[in-house]
Structure 1
Amino acid sequence: MLEYHLLTLVCHLLILALALLFLWSNAATFINKSPPRIPEVQIPKDPVMEFAQALRFEINRAFAVLRDIASGRDLKKFLSVVAGLWVLSIVGSWCNFLTLFYIVFVLLHTVPVLYEKYEDKVDPFAEKAMHEIKKHYAVFDAKVLSKIPRGPLKEKKKD
């Protein structure tokens, strides 16, 4: 494997393109040719503002969810998020971000189609899996989670 990262590749391609255009523009005067016509590119304001507002809304919603999880009200949700992040960190150590992004992109486009095609076979298997997970969680809850002392919950101030 080349171990050539995306950002490095993009930067090197931009350096090459800029150098070629710069040399072509300067050499055009010596060989009596017209310099390259480089179009002026501008990003319109409205789509950028819509994207920024949508991104801001999603980030704020994620912060609200994280605040809710960190507040200590729902231990099950907290443990599932910690477990998910732990699994994600393990998967992230196996490959770089671009590969992980590509894998997620492919999965998001193939799994729904496969599910629709084999829905009658997947649903009974998923029900069995959920039943087993609930059974194991009940044992974990009885042996571990129920033994964790909890203090009294403080009431929220209502403005």
Structure 2
Amino acid sequence: MSSKFCNHFRSPPKIPEVIIPEDLVVNIALSTRHEINRAFANLRQIALGRDIKKFLIVIAGLWLLSILGSCCNFLTLFYIVFVVLHTVPVIYEKYEDQIDTYGEKGWIEVKKQYAVFDAKVLSKVPRGPLKDKKN
């Protein structure tokens, strides 16, 4: 019986050959490069202050991130993000209609508040001409 067992394991295991097509890798690299360039273009627009709405959103996001970061350490923050990313889609699927209704109402209110902020504050900020330098 032991000789049959040994004979069974003497032959090398058959491992299938894995081949990744070149065109797939090239397409992934091209789309990744396109997305990175688009992100850099957005960051440039935000840094130049041309789109004040995006600029304010980035400031608010970084401010919220700093508040969360001061309340807990990185591991706790990572755990919270992990749990939220796994529960929010399930909750959204279950209550999609109600969430969309409240989201639309909230978005209308945000637009109203932004219009007031724009009229009272942003319209009074002096802006000089923006010129791009050609190298």
What is the TM-score when the length of structure 1 is the normalising length? Answer: 0.59
- Judged with a 3 Å threshold, the aligned counterparts in structure 2 of structure 1 residues 138 and 91 are, in CA distance, closer, same or farther, namely same
**2:89 matched residue in structure 1:** 112
Matched, 1:149 2:92: no
SS at match of 2:104: helix
Offset from partner CA, 1:80-127 (integer Å, 9 cap, x none): 101110111001111001110111111111101110110011111111
**Structure 2: how far apart are the matches of 1:135 and 1:60?**
33
Flag as ranges the 4+ runs of structure 1 deviating above 2 A.
Answer: 56-68
What is the TM-score when the length of structure 2 is the normalising length? Answer: 0.68
**1:79 matched residue in structure 2:** 56
What count of residue pairs does the alignment treat as equivalent? Answer: 107
Matched, 1:130 2:130: no
Give the partner amino acid of 1:100.
L
Q: Report sequence identity in percent.
A: 73
Structure 2: stretches of 5+ with no match in the other structure = 1-24
**CA RMSD across the alignment:** 2.6
**Structure 2: how far apart are the matches of 1:100 and 1:63?**
26
- Judged with a 3 Å threshold, the aligned counterparts in structure 2 of structure 1 residues 92 and 60 are, in CA distance, closer, same or farther, namely farther
Deviation at 1:77, TM superposition (A): 0.8
Structure 1: stretches of 5+ with no match in the other structure = 1-49
Deviation at 1:68, TM superposition (A): 2.3
- Judged with a 3 Å threshold, the aligned counterparts in structure 2 of structure 1 residues 143 and 127 are, in CA distance, closer, same or farther, namely same
